[in-house]
């Protein structure tokens, strides 16, 4: 049975084009995403959203709230509480200004897409309910980039609670993708008094689900996910509470993960270093020249690392 690994059928052609020097590698944009947790009687559940099937990138896949860095996220006027920027810079592997931008993006995107705000009036408090009309007006202004996150916090006399976040992983979009992101994954606990909602225009469904249940759905081919999503879900499974997961963030490996592609004879091998379960082998049984002179591949077969096969036209 095929699992739920998202795998675009155009990847083999793009990989071969990159090898022939026919693709220009795009520079990855900085991004952040947050695995928001809440405790249940059965253990922690994680908040996930399902991307609309109409989305050009990863349509139908389950993911976490997140998005790209706004250039204003490194505004020096942002209210800040928690570890210093130098501490965050060391943990994230960037300079201090970039660290602020990435952490700000994580908090801002969680508010924009899930309605949850990791900020408070003081370094030891967190805001409560954020679902009023005035909050919604500010959220929409943030989404439209009519309001910077620094100005939003200043207007409401709030400080960003960076201590409520734990850096968990870092994945970089493969070089053969036209849109690339250098994404930092964080973990956080749902603050008391706040609740999530589907505030994203990119999602048609949101769920609270245990990491084990979500991983089982992926393994059965019922839930579509990208490698970073299922990988981080698996690493969340050992933790019995959200607080334990947040405390365990300090032990997570922040080495960037970047997919690699290589040719072994006529077989193209796609792998993510340190994550063997995602290895794909693409066998081009026949290659012809198209009228424009580029190579085309017929009867392409995609297999996972165990040798089981799936059609390129089916679910990845």
Summarised one tens digit per residue, pLDDT across range 158-181 is 999 999 999 999 999 999 888 899
**Is residue 69 included in any domain, yes or no?**
yes
**HSE-CB for 44 with a 13 A CA cutoff:** 26
Q: Per-residue confidence at 291, pLDDT binned at 50, 70, 90?
A: very low
**Is residue 138 included in any domain, yes or no?**
yes
- Does residue 45 carry a pLDDT above 60? yes
Tokens of 34: 């947050």
How far apart, in whole angstroms, are the C-alpha atoms of residue 219 and residue 199?
28
**Is residue 314 included in any domain, yes or no?**
no
- Does residue 231 carry a pLDDT above 90? yes
Stretch among 33-42, 140-149, 264-273 having the lowest mean pLDDT: 264-273
Stretch among 45-54, 241-250, 260-269, 278-287 having the lowest mean pLDDT: 278-287
**Is residue 11 included in any domain, yes or no?**
no
The enclosing domain of 36 has a CATH number of 3.90.79.10
Tell me the whole-structure pTM to 2 decimals. 0.86
Report how many helices (DSSP H) and strands (DSSP E) the chain contains, helices first: 8, 18
**Is residue 233 included in any domain, yes or no?**
yes
Whole-number pLDDT of residue 296: 38
Instruction: Please give the residue range of the domain that contains residue 48.
Output: 25-251
**Is residue 295 included in any domain, yes or no?**
no
**Is residue 136 included in any domain, yes or no?**
yes
Q: Per-residue confidence at 284, pLDDT binned at 50, 70, 90?
A: low
For the chain, how many structural domains are there in total? 1
**Is residue 246 included in any domain, yes or no?**
yes
| Residue written as token pair 């800040």 | 80
Mean pLDDT of 207-234: 94
pLDDT in tens, 75-115: 778 999 999 999 999 999 999 999 999 999 999 999 999 99
């Amino acid at each position: 049975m095929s699992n739920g690994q998202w795998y675009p059928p155009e990847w083999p052609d793009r990989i071969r084009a990159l090898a022939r020097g026919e693709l220009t590698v795009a520079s990855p944009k900085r991004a952040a995403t947050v695995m928001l947790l809440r405790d249940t009687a059965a253990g922690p559940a994680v908040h996930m959203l399902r991307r609309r099937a109409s989305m050009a990138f990863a349509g139908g896949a389950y993911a976490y709230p997140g998005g790209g860095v706004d250039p204003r996220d490194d505004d020096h006027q942002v209210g800040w509480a928690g570890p210093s920027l130098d501490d965050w810079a060391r943990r994230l592997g960037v300079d201090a200004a970039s660290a602020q931008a990435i952490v700000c993006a994580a908090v801002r995107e969680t508010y924009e897409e899930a309605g949850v705000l990791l900020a408070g009036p003081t370094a030891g408090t967190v805001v409560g309910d954020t679902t009023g009309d005035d909050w919604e007006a500010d959220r929409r202004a943030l989404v439209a980039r009519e309001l910077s996150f620094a100005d939003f916090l200043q207007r409401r006399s709030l400080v960003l609670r960076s201590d409520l976040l734990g850096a968990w992983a870092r994945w970089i979009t493969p070089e053969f993708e036209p849109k690339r992101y250098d994404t930092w994954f964080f973990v956080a606990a749902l603050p008391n008094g706040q609740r999530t909602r589907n505030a994203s225009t990119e999602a048609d469904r949101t769920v609270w689900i245990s990491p084990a249940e979500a991983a089982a759905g992926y393994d059965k081919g019922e839930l579509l996910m990208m490698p970073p999503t299922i990988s981080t879900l698996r690493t969340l499974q050992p933790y019995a509470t959200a607080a334990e997961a947040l405390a365990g963030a300090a032990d997570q490996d922040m080495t960037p993960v970047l997919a690699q592609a290589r040719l072994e004879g006529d077989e193209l091998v796609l792998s993510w270093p340190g994550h063997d379960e995602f290895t794909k082998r693409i066998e081009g049984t026949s290659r012809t020249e198209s009228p424009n002179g580029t190579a085309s591949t017929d009867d392409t077969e995609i297999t996972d690392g165990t040798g089981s096969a799936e059609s390129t036209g089916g679910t990845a």
